[in-house]
Amino acid sequence: MDLRLKDRVAIVTGGSSGIGAATSRLFVQEGAKVAIFARDRERGERIAGEISDLGGECVFLRVDVSLEDQVREGFKVAVEKFGRVDILVNNAGIYEKGDIFSFTEKDFQELVDVNIKGVLLCTKYAVEDMRKRSSGVIVNVSSEAGIVGIQNQVIYNLTKSAVIAITKSCALDLAPYGIRVNCVCPGTTHTPLVDKAREKYKDAKPPIKILSRVRALDRWGMPEEIASAIVFLSSDIVSYATGTILSVDGGYTI
């Protein structure tokens, strides 16, 4: 399918692994140019290099999305490199378990800074460029945890619900500028973030089979499947869609 993304410029936050890396690859396959924002320089440069070696145009920029100075500079460099920003994918996110009794103030601040403030900051600076041309697309990555309650991750659930609220608010605020804002809510996906979480809590980690059985499709998702939804919502194929919240969770939230 021609998604009409040739020569579009996409910023993918958290683009150095998992869903972000898969999304960056798929954008380039569809003809877009990509700037990866991430904190891990070694991994980010490796992914950008692999994509470039396949014939795509991809650069890595070390950006912590929770820090405004770094976000501002990242967008400045990306615009200098590619001339503009057409698409922003707010994918960067971190995870921490903890119910209302056990979460710490440190957990709260770290998750809010990356998962909420990071989305707001990147949107703010992407829109500065997009509205000059009265066009642009933003795709936020939330989670099934933003739609339904999941035990023992109260702050993570809160931040992912906030991403959905940001999507709806910005869809309304940015429509007059010709900018569309949509959201993908992945289910449990085979990514380094999920693997790390399961290892950290290995004494109580549920087997993969249990996490699969709660889904109609009886399996976890793959990063490429989530990436396909993100890139689809970024394309002109669905140019009438804004404020859309798309679940890609194997049927978990049914």
Residues tagged active-site = 156
Look-up of token digits 């906030």: 162
Between CA 74 and CA 126 the distance in angstroms is: 10
Length of the chain: 254
* DSSP assigned state of 145: G
Question: Residue 12 contacts by C-beta under 8 Å, 6 or more apart in sequence?
Answer: 20, 23, 24, 27, 34, 35, 36, 37, 89, 91
Number of Cβ atoms within 10 Å of the Cβ of 132? 12
Q: Which helix (H) or strand (E) holds 154?
A: helix 154-174
